[in-house]
A and B are shown apart, each in its own frame.
Chain A
Amino acid sequence: MTANTEVARSSGRLWQGLTLQQKQVVWAWGFLAVPILFYGLIRFYPTVEAFVISTTNWNLMNSPSFVGLANFKRLMADPVFWQVFRNTFLYLIIGTPLSLVLAFTIAYHLDRVRFMHGFIRALYFLPFLTTATAMAWVWRWFYQPVPIGLINDVISSLGFSQQPFLRSTTQALPAVLAPAIWAGLGFQVVIFLAGLRAIPTTYYEAARIDGVSDFAILRKITLPLLKPTIIFLVVFSSIGFLRIFDQVYNMTSGDPGGPLNATKPLVLMIYQTAFSSFDMGYAAAQTVVLFLVLLCVSLLQLRLLRDR
């Protein structure tokens, strides 16, 4: 009885000995443990596993054996990889600025519209709700030659020569990019509208009292105050274009990645290497490269935009 009492008293004393703040910290970590564990298993474990697989020659059928950096050496020597790498950055470099400028322009003018504002905003948002696969197949039909391609039918009836679009090594990537930009436009417009609405009207009132022009207001007030929104959308949009897959795959499924890999992004190359060729080690190496690219681009953007 005495011993039991002493033990109980010790335990109680240990907990009682903590300060209030220390108790709060313990409770916080207790609750955080579950999500941290979940996140670690679901997010970090697969990432580490990808690094491990990238150093093997696993093809799903054999027992993987260690090959060091052989997969990365092969990657560096693969001309298709460099074209795919270039394509991936073309999607990024062309797609991100174009979609943001377009979205901002629409949002800026839409913000001034009162009549049917909600309806027009809904119309822009609608493509965002459509599945990428369905959209890709519709646009694929748009791009066909006469007599079923919508665009070429119109061009031809106006007396111009029809265009190859998806069958061209130069036109194919812009052709795939156009519906991808269009698909994401609605989301960006809505985010920009929210950003514009968040700017206090007092700034605009003060500027107008001082007789400042619309362009100066845009440059000095609107854009600087939209910076957090722009940062978010640049990062979000960049990652989206770097990981483009649905549109490319479905618009070019007969010759995946388009003629002579004209539209093939890195994600599609990874998919094909892993699930068509079953070359898991090589695919994991490509995944590691994509991960590093995404990481660098995101960090670079955050640093540049924050310093500005």
Chain B
Amino acid sequence: MRGFRGLVLGVLMSVGAIAGARAQAVEIEYWQYVFDARIKAMNELIKRFEAANPGIKVKHTTFPYADYQTKIAAAVPAGQGPDVVQLYYGWLDNFVGAKFIQPLPRDAFPHDVIEKEFYPIVQTMKRDGEYYGLPTAVRTLALFYNKKLFQEAGLDPNKPPQTLDEYLEAAKKTVKRDAAGNMLSAGAVIDMPGQDLHWWREVLLRQMGGKPYSDDNKTVAYDSEAGAKALNWYADLQRVHKVGQAGFMDEGQAAFRAGRAAMTVDGSFRLGAFGGIKNFEWGVAELPASADGKRSNFASYWVNAITAKPTGAKLEAAKKFMAFTTSPEAMQVWLDMVGELPARKAAAETEKNLAHPIYGPFLKALNYSQATVFVDELAQRQVGLDMANRVFIQNQDAKASLAEAAKAEQAILDRFYKK
């Protein structure tokens, strides 16, 4: 009897131990889209995270970008899919509306800490008083310039233009034409389908005293004196000063890479492509300020969020993983391996990072960047492209074109917010 009772007790203890051990080993799933550098960076982060948290395993799953949103849309309502997910900040309203993601638990992510430690663009992640995601990979704009073309034009290759007036002067000096007047090399790229639309709407417009949308984002606000001033300034680069030409070399970044554009406005995501340039030396500068020193920039970013799926132990694990991926350490890894900028001041503003000749201008911009919310990014982009094309191709008056654009875009916003 004593032997039997002891055996039973031993078995029960063993079962309990095994169950306990199993309870300790929590597995969560993380999804992002396919991009080599990002996959490597995340694998590195997961390795570090699992080393620091022996009881948690992270399964890393990726999908082609084109399928990514639809995969999430199909998986999460079915109770499958990721526990932590990466999404583009512009998708937030759709994801919140569809209940794909849950608010970040305040115990792990206190609002005062978020607002103190992250750049102001994090505000775009707030809905109805709750934060739903935290940025991990930010992109801003900067001025890329061709030092060789500057030198040939008699300009100091280490002193890029600091103001819009200086920008225009540099463009005039560096543009090249043939005997028939055809452009051979642009002084300034004009490429609305590239990043110029963001430059116009988020930077030039604000520098001229306007803003693109109302504070609640529901009303178009660029149909104004400032809007016309900004659009005319931009269009005059081609119409009046002839320092650039829409469609030259097909794409602005292609013109710059070929050494046929002295200056172009592009994003930090272009560093990978421009990194391959061998024929000339290029530099990066902050976007030119207005005459009175006003600066602005546009930041877009990817965030990590916790889906509606995890509860209990999985939720605790997801919180830890979210906290880790948004830590300064993780953001530095991301900057080094992917080239995308940190969203946390501590990670961005190290002396080494700010002094970096290439990353520095992008990082400094984080302090004065805006992250505008788009409800239908491509449709709203098309409105902007058409606005510019009416001016460039049909010689429409800037004010009339702005009015038409504002009307079309307001319809897009109305359709979304009345849903």
Contact = CB atoms under 8 A, between A and B. Distances in A.
Contact of B97 (A62, A146, A166): A62
A144 interface: yes
B386 A166 contact: no
Contact of B393 (A144, A260, A275, A279): A260
B73 A60 contact: yes
A28 to B, nearest CB: 41
A276 B245 contact: no
A179 interface: no
Contacts of A156: 178, 180, 182
Given A145-B247, A167-B246, A259 B182 contact: no
Given A167-B246, A255-B385, 15 more contacts: A141-B250, A144-B250, A145-B182, A145-B183, A145-B245, A148-B249, A152-B182, A156-B178, A168-B393, A254-B250, A255-B192, A259-B389, A276-B376, A276-B379, A277-B376
A286 B194 CA distance: 29
A146 B179 CA distance: 12
Given A146-B183, A156-B182, A277 B378 contact: yes
21 contacts: A61-B94, A61-B95, A141-B250, A144-B247, A145-B182, A146-B183, A147-B184, A156-B178, A156-B180, A156-B182, A159-B180, A162-B182, A166-B247, A169-B389, A254-B193, A255-B192, A255-B385, A260-B386, A261-B386, A275-B66, A276-B378
Interface residues of A, number: 34
A21 B250 CA distance: 68
Contacts of A147: 178, 182, 184, 260
Interface residues on B, range: 35 or more
Interface of B: 66, 69-70, 73, 94-95, 97-98, 100, 178, 180, 182-184, 192-194, 245-251, 260, 376, 378-379, 382, 385-386, 389-390, 393-394, 419
A47 interface: no
B260 to A, nearest CB: 8
B78 to A, nearest CB: 13
B184 A254 contact: no
Contacts of A301: none
Q: Which of A152, A164, A260 has the most CB of B within 10 A?
A: A260
Contact of B184 (A144, A146, A261): A146
B369 to A, nearest CB: 24
Contacts of B97: 61-62
A298 interface: no
A277 B251 CA distance: 24
A141 B183 CA distance: 16
A167 B393 contact: yes
A61 B73 contact: yes
B251 A254 contact: yes
Contacts of B100: 61
A10 interface: no
Contacts of B378: 272, 276-277
A112 B419 CA distance: 66
Nearest to B94: A61
Interface in A153-176: 156, 159, 161-162, 164, 166-169
Contacts of B394: 169, 260
Contact of B178 (A57, A146, A254): A146
Contacts of B184: 146-147
Contact of B247 (A59, A60, A61, A167): A167
Contacts of A166: 247
